[in-house]
Structure 1
Amino acid sequence: MREGDEPQVSLSLLEIFGAMMRCQTTVEAAEQLGISQPAVSNGLRQLERELGITLFERAHRRLEPTAEALSLYEEIRPLFGVLRSFSLRARDIRQGKSGRIRIVATPPIGHTAAPRALRALLEERPEVSVSYDVRRLSDILAALKEGSADVGIALAIDQDLDVNVEVLHRTHMVALVPVGSALANRSEVTASEVAGHRFVGLEAASRLGQILRSAFDRDHATYDPRVEVRYCSTAAVLAQAGLGIAVVDPYTAEFHHSPELVQRPFSPPCEISVVLLLRKGVPRSRLVHSFIEELRRQFRAPPSG
């Protein structure tokens, strides 16, 4: 190195130097670093050439650090702590044990299966932080497209040109029947039977509302609800208040379980899908993969209660 030039030292050479200062033999340093003993010796010689300083002198068949080496080691000792923390954090991120995940879900899943999956995810991941929100489907799609969310979960969406849609689970809508209704003792409730009683309908503007209307058409039943709402959650609340039967998704039925209502299968069957929504062109992190797997476990598990 020419006089006046600043040495350009690589981190790998500094790691060899630090290991040598801690171990004091090239064999032990090599074992600690997972490299060969000649690689340690060559690295130390290269570092001495780049610094223009003698770092170790042979004494009694050992390499002893010089005063200059001791001084430099004290200067850079904090760096080794930073490097170790960096390596451990990188390992945790690689294994999905660290980082941040941003989740948005529509209310039916956001209030039932998704929280259980999140709890399972966080049980052994104290370093993971979470942004979690329950929103309308249009807001979820906007969040994914603009990159402010990593994972979206929703019901009854077939496809969207701007996000990836992946089916997690298929299920059917159910009827929430007030316990005092004549239909409460039936093993199954049909659209024709619902049409003969007071019931809370879903607006045609919603996807589930369209599915419900189609079921009434297939059963040749008149769709004439006394009250019509946009959300299944609202329909369940009104059914609980005694305003009539409501046909909702099973997750809303689970969330609004109460002694005033009984849940019955609804016919004709109204199949709905729980879907995973992800931004196109963005690789899934290990943390996102882990959360998705926990979601899958929730849907594979038998229903609670």
Structure 2
Amino acid sequence: MKTLNLLHYAAFRAVMLTGTVSGAAELLGRSQPAVSRLLDKLEYELGVSLFERRRGQITPTSVAHLLLDEIERAYVSLEALSSFASRLASGEGGEISLAVMPALGINFVPRLLAEFRRDWPKTKVTLNVRMSVKIEEWAAAQQIDFGLAETPFRRSGFRTSIFSNAPYIAVVPRHHPLADRSRLGPGDLREGPFISWTSFVSARHLLDQALQSSSVKVDAAYETTFSISAYEMVKQGIGIAIIDPYTAVEQLDDRVRLIPFAPQIPFNVALLRPESRAANPAADALLEVMAEKRDRLLAQLPR
């Protein structure tokens, strides 16, 4: 039985499907004598009669039907394996590992994954929400397919490109005295209470620079690490804040107003692609969905 291979079983299956040796030969693209030899070899090695041969006609035995059942189950598995291999080749059956900063990882990315899943239902996505410093570290270590993090970076080992550079925006409670303004500046923040970032957030230093260049001193009544926390405080009427544009639009609420802030504080989000990471078509497809969603979202910002 060691000399049998898939071709012997394929010949048997073809005969069972077509009902004749000639039909099997045509299906397999082989000569009738070649198919007959494959059948004879199969019967010899198995030690059973699979067909009754009378006057040029062949009739399957009960053993043949049992064998066909097993072969059909095997063919289903082989077809599933072939399909899986095809999905792997196109990225559909693979995995994506990405790391995204909280401003994009809490709402922006999770909400677009449903759209991505419609075209890539078999792809596993691992979404890591981390601070930009950690994303940079993982990209340099080739541990993710891509990352979205705020610039600048100090490490190497990855390629970068700008994903978006929309500025931070002011959020004000609807009934606040500043709510009717078309634009806010550093001096307006003194009419708070002002909700700022903690010193661990890179944007805090950008804001401090903007205030210093305008010779304005603003004492923060509250400090927080994430824009979404500051936004929630604004919705509760606690004070005013400067937050990232993604959180501002994703969390849009009738209780607040979004107002452009000048001078602009850039929210530079970069795409990090590890240099030694293998190409991943599914990751590329996800980035296309992200880019489309980004453009739709940022178009909603007041100018």
Give me the TM-score of the superposition, normalised by structure 1. Answer: 0.75
Residue in structure 2 matched with residue 6 of structure 1 by the alignment: 2
Contact kept? 1:158, 1:165, Cα under 8 Å: no
Name stretches of at least 5 consecutive residues in structure 2 with no aligned partner.
none
* Residues 1:270 and 2:226 aligned together: no
Task: Give the 5 Å matches for 1:161-240.
Answer: 161-195=156-190, 197-222=192-217, 224-240=219-235
Q: 1:282 aligns with which of 270, 277, 280?
A: 277
CA change 1:204–1:95 in 2 (3 A) is same
CA deviations over 1:112-167 (Å, ceiling 9, x no partner): 32123211011244434443343333444555566765443334455642444333
Q: 2:80 aligns with which of 74, 80, 85?
A: 85
Whole-Å separation in 2 of the counterparts to 1:189 and 1:285: 44
Structure 2 residue identity aligned to 1:173: Y
Contact kept? 1:150, 1:278, Cα under 8 Å: yes
Contact kept? 1:48, 1:55, Cα under 8 Å: no
CA deviations over 1:10-44 (Å, ceiling 9, x no partner): x56654554454235678657767xxx24897688
Structure 1 residue identity aligned to 2:179: A
Task: Give the 5 Å matches for 1:1-305.
Answer: 6-7=2-3, 9=5, 11=6, 14-15=9-10, 18-24=13-19, 37-38=29-30, 73=68, 76-141=71-136, 149-158=144-153, 160-195=155-190, 197-222=192-217, 224-301=219-296, 303=299
Structure 2 residue identity aligned to 1:259: D
Which stretch has the larger CA shift, 229-238 or 42-51?
Answer: 42-51
- State, as a whole percentage, how many aligned pairs show the same letter: 23
Which stretch has the larger CA shift, 39-48 or 128-137?
Answer: 39-48
Three-state SS of the structure 1 residue aligned to 2:196 is: strand
Contact kept? 1:202, 1:212, Cα under 8 Å: no
Contact kept? 1:19, 1:32, Cα under 8 Å: yes
Whole-Å separation in 2 of the counterparts to 1:32 and 1:191: 79
Give me the TM-score of the superposition, normalised by structure 2. Answer: 0.75
Per-residue deviation, 1:69: 7.3
Three-state SS of the structure 1 residue aligned to 2:149 is: strand
Q: How many residue pairs are counted as aligned between the two chains?
A: 297
Q: CA RMSD in A?
A: 4.0
CA change 1:232–1:178 in 2 (3 A) is same
Contact kept? 1:18, 1:80, Cα under 8 Å: no
Whole-Å separation in 1 of the counterparts to 2:169 and 2:244: 6
Three-state SS of the structure 2 residue aligned to 1:277 is: strand
Contact kept? 2:140, 2:156, Cα under 8 Å: no
